[in-house]
């Protein structure tokens, strides 16, 4: 098979990409690297792109640095990125721009022509740029505008509000790809493992702008690591002359399949082909559900206790020592491998999504991910996302993640009383053909096979001005944690994914929320070592208390990665 060749040309401040293309084959070209950036209004391109910044990354990484990035400022309404690239050869039949994640509010121009606008901040923007793209070695100028902060977004748009964040740092914080291919081209593949039948069902969306009447759709399934082919076949599809798009479904056997689990994270890859395109998707053969009778998680037909932690990536974005760590694969892999040494098998990606490659690493290292959409409102917040804005973003989120075996729970929100997330869940739930369970924060579970979160923060009493809690009171504590009234309306399984309230900063000093707790437990003149020992012993005791009572499907401490400030 012919392949396109991609090379890099560096000139001045610009890092250009030169792509050699051949019609009727797919190539995904990374536009990651150093971009030019400037600041200005939401509508007017700045007069100068006088700084550079990495993509993916955040705009506090610009050189020279901007002032007051992430906080409201009169200095700008928006930041503007620019990148120059070339395509050698003719423009293929289809060219798509994929911006995996950017915030706050994305607007795109290619060669001076508006290519599209995308308000969601946590899901990908996918834009057809075929008619704007120049080939034959001509320069292409790609400009992307992002709002400078949450205030740039329209009313009702989820914006990632967090009661414990100071900064909302904008930027293109995930990769940017240019997808070049022929027609008909594949838009999306959803894999649906059926482990009892040792087969995988696929549902693909195929665009057919040329209205080809009939075609062969090929499917090859391989072991991801070895490349060994485990199944291959071709299917003829006809009567398409009046269809510019059509669904393609198939069910393919995987004899003697290996099941994916945290203990054996075995992966497969499916490649789907049309006369003009090919697309790959990685998946694992696994099933996951909650049993409404036992209130346990069931992984591959067996009871499975979830033990783990949380990652608050958007809070870590504020950490002074963050640097480029969230975008370095070796650092992210090392983080997950370190979590495995704790005998953890589960992580909640809490109040926000990391870059997409984190999920690839979680698939490979072996974790169950509770994937939490960034909505946290309590009973009242300055932002109030509405279902009409949430539904499109939930849809994009699911389409991006549904082939990852690590993702086992769609988590709609955190600690919020709002009817809007339930409306959104009802609208999108059927899209996931694997029927993963949902978790709806403090609101009513939408099914008895869903889960509810519980956050039994026993030591919060100090912060609330009540009598300090003591471990000697544990015999009076129920092994069944408290729930909010709406959560009790369905007999859903419980996951404790926050508890303790004894956080320390990296240097061992108490956090804002734990100063009173440590003053009471350790005295006003305690040392960092004394506080760390108290934290370790208390967290160990609480962890074993919640685990041994076996009233919950999972116990996940808070948290494995956040900020230190």
User: What is the Cα–Cα distance from 59 to 69, expressed in whole angstroms?
Assistant: 7
Residue 356 per-residue DSSP state: T
| Rg, Å, the chain Cα set | 25
267 within 8 A of 364, measured Cβ to Cβ: yes
Main-chain dihedrals φ then ψ at residue 282, nearest 5 degrees = -95, 145
- Identify the pLDDT of residue 24: 57
Q: How far apart are the first and last CA of the chain?
A: 53
Structure tokens at 467: 């009598």
105 within 8 A of 183, measured Cβ to Cβ: no
pLDDT digits (tens, 9 = 90+) for 106-140: 999 999 999 999 999 999 999 999 999 999 999 99
* Domain at 5-181, CATH from 3.20.20.100, 2.40.50.100, 2.70.98.40, 2.60.120.260: 2.60.120.260
| 3-class DSSP assignment, residue 321 | coil
| 3-class DSSP assignment, residue 485 | helix
In this prediction, the residues of the chain whose per-residue pLDDT falls under 50 are 1-23
- Identify the pLDDT of residue 118: 98
Asked whether the domain spanning 288-556 has the same topology as the one spanning 185-283, the reply is: no
CATH number of 288-556: 3.20.20.80
pLDDT digits (tens, 9 = 90+) for 500-509: 999 999 999 9
Containing H/E element for 389?
A: helix 387-401
Q: Which of 486, 487, 511, 488 is nearest to 501 (CA)?
A: 511
- Identify the pLDDT of residue 396: 98
Write out the DSSP string of 516-551: HHHHHHH-TT--HHHHHHHHHHHHHHHHHHHHHHT-
Question: Between 357-365 and 329-340, two packed helices, what is the crossing angle to 10 degrees?
Answer: 40
Q: With b meaning 16 or more CB within 10 Å and e meaning fewer, what string describes 278-299?
A: bbbbbbbbbbbbbeeeebbbbb
173 within 8 A of 101, measured Cβ to Cβ: yes
Q: With b meaning 16 or more CB within 10 Å and e meaning fewer, what string describes 328-337?
A: eeeebbebbe
- Identify the pLDDT of residue 9: 25
Q: Where are the domains of the chain?
A: 5-181, 185-283, 288-556
185-283 belongs to which CATH class? mainly beta
Taking CA atoms, 313 is separated from 319, 374, 414, 562, in Å, by 10, 11, 15, 6
CA 264, distance to chain mean position in Å, is 23
- Identify the pLDDT of residue 463: 83
Sign for the CA dihedral angle at 35, 36, 41, 46 comes to: negative
Question: Between 515-522 and 528-549, two packed helices, what is the crossing angle to 10 degrees?
Answer: 100
Question: Between 420-428 and 387-401, two packed helices, what is the crossing angle to 10 degrees?
Answer: 40
Structure tokens at 218: 């090929």
């Amino acid at each position: 098979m012919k392949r396109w060749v991609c090379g890099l040309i560096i000139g001045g401040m610009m890092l250009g990409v030169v792509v050699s293309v051949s019609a009727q084959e797919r190539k995904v070209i990374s536009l990651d690297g150093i971009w030019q950036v400037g600041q200005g209004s939401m509508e007017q391109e700045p007069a100068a792109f006088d700084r550079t910044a990495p993509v993916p990354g955040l705009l506090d990484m610009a050189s020279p640095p901007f002032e007051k990035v992430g906080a409201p400022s009169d200095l700008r309404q928006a930041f503007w990125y620019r990148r120059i690239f070339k395509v050698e050869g003719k423009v293929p039949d289809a060219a798509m721009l994929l911006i995996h994640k950017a915030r706050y509010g994305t607007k795109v121009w290619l060669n001076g022509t508006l290519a599209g606008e995308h308000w969601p901040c946590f899901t990908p923007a996918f834009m057809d740029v075929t008619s704007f793209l120049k080939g034959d070695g001509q320069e292409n100028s790609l400009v992307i505008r992002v709002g400078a902060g949450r205030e740039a977004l329209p009313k009702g748009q989820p914006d990632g509000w967090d009661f414990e964040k100071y900064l909302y740092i904008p930027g293109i914080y995930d990769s940017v790809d240019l997808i070049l291919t022929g027609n008909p081209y594949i838009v999306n593949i959803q894999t649906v493992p059926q482990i009892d039948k040792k087969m995988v069902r696929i549902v693909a969306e195929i665009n057919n702008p040329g209205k080809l009447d009939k075609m062969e759709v090929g499917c090859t399934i391989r072991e991801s690591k070895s490349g060994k082919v485990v199944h291959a076949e071709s299917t003829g599809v006809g009567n398409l002359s009046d269809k510019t798009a059509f669904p393609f479904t198939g069910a393919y056997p995987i004899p003697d399949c290996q099941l994916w689990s945290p203990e054996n994270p075995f992966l497969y890859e499916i490649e789907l082909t049309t006369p003009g395109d090919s697309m790959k998707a990685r998946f694992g053969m696994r099933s996951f559900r909650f049993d409404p009778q036992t209130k346990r998680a069931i992984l591959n037909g067996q009871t499975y206790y979830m033990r783990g932690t949380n990652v608050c990536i958007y809070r870590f974005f504020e950490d002074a020592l963050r640097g480029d760590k969230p975008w370095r694969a070796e650092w992210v892999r090392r983080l997950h491998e370190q979590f495995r040494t704790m005998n953890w098998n589960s992580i909640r990606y809490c109040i926000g999504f990391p870059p997409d490659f984190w999920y690839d690493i979680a698939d490979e290292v072996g974790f169950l991910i509770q994937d939490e959409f960034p909505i946290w409102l309590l009973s009242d917040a300055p932002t109030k996302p509405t279902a009409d804005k949430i539904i499109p973003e939930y849809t994009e989120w699911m389409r991006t993640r549904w082939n990852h075996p690590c993702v086992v729970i769609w988590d709609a929100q955190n600690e919020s009383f709002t009817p809007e997330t339930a409306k959104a869940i009802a609208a999108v739930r059927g899209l996931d053909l694997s029927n993963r369970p949902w978790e709806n924060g403090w609101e009513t579970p939408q099914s008895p096979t869903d889960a509810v979160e519980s956050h039994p923060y026993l030591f919060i009493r100090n912060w609330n001005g009540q009598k300090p809690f003591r471990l000697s009171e544990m015999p009076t504590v129920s092994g069944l944690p408290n729930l909010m009234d709406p959560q009790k309306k369905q007999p859903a399984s419980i996951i404790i994914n926050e508890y303790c309230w004894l956080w320390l900063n990296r240097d061992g000093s108490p956090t804002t929320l734990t100063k009173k707790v440590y003053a009471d437990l350790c005295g006003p003149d305690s040392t960092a070592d004394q506080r760390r020992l108290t934290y370790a012993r208390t967290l160990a005791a609480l962890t074993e208390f919640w685990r041994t009572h076996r009233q919950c499907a999972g116990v996940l401490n808070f948290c494995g990665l956040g900020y230190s400030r």
